[in-house]
Structure 1
Amino acid sequence: MTPQIEIQIIAVIVAAACALPGTFLVLRRMSMMSDSITHTILLGIVLAFFVTHDLSSPLLIAGAALMGVVTVWLTEMLSRTRLLAEDAAIGVVFPLLFSIAIILITRYAGSVHLDTDSVLLGELAFAPFDRMILWGRDVGAKAIYTTGILLVINLAAVVLLFKELKIAAFDPMLAAVLGFSPALVHYGLMTLVSLTAVGAFQAVGSVLVVAFMIGPPVTAYLLTDDLKHMLILSGVTGAVNGILGYQAAAFFDVSIAGSMAVVTGIVFLGVFIFAPRRGLIRSLLKRRNQKIEFSKAVMFLHLLNHENSPEEPSEAGVDTVHTHLHWTCKFTGRIIKSLARDGYVEILGGLVKLTSLGRTDGIDHYNELFSK
């Protein structure tokens, strides 16, 4: 297997592993917590290293995961005081813990291979050089297996606890009524996020972990309302972003992790603009149509209110009605033409008059519209 293929496999696995807990972070409106955790776990790694003096010790993973939970706890503790909003609490805790880790590394571990640049940006190009040797045989890049185990853990957790995660994400009160602790589910999810971050950042860096953990889920969120479909679509989108990002990096000769993050952003932007149900274009068209429909209703009720009244020649005149509605002549003409196409109005003797269809179907239509 070539290094190029191994790099893309690692990217696909990491993207899928990050998308699973990331989906629930997006649904719980805790996206920025992933950024906080992926940085503050560095302090857990540093403290665990000071205890073990071994960069390959599994205690480093345990320390990082524990620090991720501590980050969440400190953030929520500050937020519960109601003196700080959650985003402000993250803005306090995240830089504090991360800066402590940087100071400890530069002061006490300068000669140790704890490179803050590689922690942040990662370097997928080096991943194939760290080989997995079993019984004297090279079986591939070690990162394939470590991230593969991470994916299996996340997948098993989501499958086994799908109901609990779903209910806790959408209705914590119902979760408590059904007999399981929303807080336990919450901290379990945060532990999963921490494990994912520490298991993936060595290969891809914390920036790409955040990109994979949030980018694909928010992309899928714009495309579907079904949680199962959202989880699947998040994983597939992340995998595609990883492959396209690698191809772009190879073509332009740039950072692999950076290219994947950029592709993730570009794909999200494309979906954000063109999504059939929640895209920007669809939203603008929907707002435009709502404005037209509301204006048609206002015009219809205005004509109905002044029909056969002494003020009708002025209030319903083709050349004067716009002054009473405070609209432009051009916009008023568009509304009249639209109502005429519906068969609700007609122009007789310079007046905009309701048709017989307008007095029957039109009244029912707009009554139903305003009752919604």
Structure 2
Amino acid sequence: MSFVTGTLLLAVVTALACALPGVYVVLRRDSMLVDAIAHSVLPGIVVGYFFTRNLDSPWLILGAATAGLIVVLGSQWLTDSGLITGDAPQGLVFPALFSAGVIMVTLNFANVHLDTHAVLVGDLNLAAFRHLTVGGTSIGPEYLYVMLAVLLIDVAFLWAFHRQLTVTTFDGPFAASIGIPVKSVNAAFMFLVSVTVTAAFNAAGAILVIALVVVPAATAHLLTKTLASLFAVTAAVAVGGAVAGFWGAYALDAATSAAMSVCYGAIFIAAHLFTRMRVRRSRRSHRAQSARSPELTESLSRAA
């Protein structure tokens, strides 16, 4: 498999893996929580590397995902306490943790390829550099199969628990009344998001990963009315933005993950403008029908 093909496939798989859980993230209005998770996983990665001394160890993903889950649970605890409201708990937690992670990297692992630039924006091309070879034949980047495994886990979880996730998303008190463990479902889902964000760290970094998670689902939310169509359009936007961003970066010799984020932003703006035009057209049509209705009533009364 060529480097270009492998990198393109990695971009598509990473986009899908991030976008599908993003549907429930957007519906739950927890978009900024993804940003908090993305910033908080850095200390987990550093601590995981401190014990394993291996950047390819799966313990880094699990440790970082656990750190992200701790942030989620801590933010929820602060919110439930009633002392802090809104997004303030996230604003307190993740800047401190991310700063601590950057300090740990620069002080203890300056000689390790875990630099702050890659942490912030990621490097999809660098992530695709190491290829998996079987029988002397390259079958694609090693990181591609990591993200493919994460994508399969995401799909399996969302399929197995779609009923619980849907009910807890739209009506938490009702879910609790019919015996669904709301807190456990929420914790499991946010752990899944943490694993996904951590796995995508090499490709998108702490800043751009929020675009991969949130923007496709937010775009689809403007265009759809059912949950099934929301997932379908989200997947289509994720794939389309990844492909367009990859080839745009290839043509401009730019960062792939940044180009993908720009394409997602352009798609969202186009969808927003289309939705506004459709709403205005519908309102004009409704007003025209309302204006014709009295005239029609008067004509019918005269005919009678």
User: Aligned partners of 2:229, 2:284: CA distance in 1, in Å?
Assistant: 30
Bigger relative CO (Cα 8 Å, ≥ 6 apart): 2
Give the aligned partner of residue 187 of structure 1. Answer: 187
Looking at secondary structure, tell me which structure has more helix per residue. Answer: 2
For residues 149-175 of structure 1, the C-alpha deviation after alignment (integer angstroms, 9 at most, x for no partner) is 010000110111111111111111222
- Any idea what SS the aligned residue of 1:129 has? coil
Q: C-alpha deviations, 1:72-104, integer Å up to 9, x for none?
A: 012112222323223122111111111111111
- CA drift at 1:39: 1.5
Contact 2:2 2:140 in 1 (8 A): no
Alignment partner, residue 212 of structure 1:
212
Contact 1:10 1:144 in 2 (8 A): yes
In structure 2, C-alpha distance between the alignment counterparts of 1:143 and 1:342, rounded to whole Å: 67
Superposition RMSD on alpha carbons, in Å?
2.5
CA distance in 2, matches of 1:187, 1:195: 12
Tell me the SS of whatever aligns to 1:86. Answer: coil
Counterparts of 1:327-342 in structure 2 under 5 Å? 338=291, 342=295
Query: What secondary structure does 1:140 align onto?
Result: strand
Mapping for residues 1-372 of structure 1, pairs under 5 Å: 1-134=1-134, 137-274=137-274, 279-285=275-281, 338=291, 342-343=295-296
Q: Which amino acid aligns with 1:144?
A: L
Structure-1 separation of matches of 2:38 and 2:13? 18
Offset at 1:55? Answer: 2.0
State the SS of the aligned residue for 1:23. helix
Number of matched residues? 304
Residue 132 of structure 1: SS of its match in structure 2?
strand
Separation in 1, partners of 2:49, 2:181: 34
Q: Is the contact made by 2:10 and 2:128 (CA closer than 8 Å) also made in structure 1?
A: no
1:180-223 deviation per Cα after TM superposition (whole angstroms, max 9, x unaligned) = 20111101111000100111111332333211110110111111
Residues 208 and 260 of structure 1 are in contact (CA less than 8 Å); yes or no, is this contact kept in structure 2? no
* Residue 134 of structure 1, CA deviation: 4.1
Give unmatched runs, 5+ long, in structure 2: none
Provide Cα deviations, 1:40-97, integer angstroms capped at 9, x if missing partner.
1111111222222332222211110100101101211222232322312211111111
- Bigger mean CA offset, 15-24 vs 103-112: 103-112
Q: Distance in 2 between matches of 1:343 and 1:228?
A: 40
Select the structure of larger CA radius of gyration.
1
**Residues 61 and 195 in structure 2, CA contact (< 8 A), matched pair in contact too:** yes
The Cα of 1:237 is off from its aligned counterpart by 1.0
Q: Kindly indicate whether the alpha-carbon contact (under 8 Å) linking 2:22 and 2:217 is maintained by their aligned counterparts in 1.
A: yes
Structure 1 CA distance for aligned equivalents of residues 278 and 135 of structure 2: 58
Deviation at 1:115, TM superposition (A): 1.1
After superposition, give the CA deviation of every residue in 1:268-291 in whole Å (9 maximum; x if it has no partner): 1101110xxxx122334556677x
Secondary structure of 2:83 counterpart: coil
Sequence identity (%): 35
TM-score by length of 2: 0.91
Residues 227-285 of structure 1 show CA distances to partners (whole Å, capped at 9, x for unaligned) of 122112211210110000111112222221111100000001101110xxxx1223345
CA distance in 2, matches of 1:54, 1:85: 40
Aligned partner letter, 2:295: D
Equivalents in 2 of 1:229, 1:143: separation in Å?
30
Aligned mates of 1:357, 1:235 — CA distance in 2: 51
Runs of 4+ aligned structure 1 residues displaced above 6 Å come to none
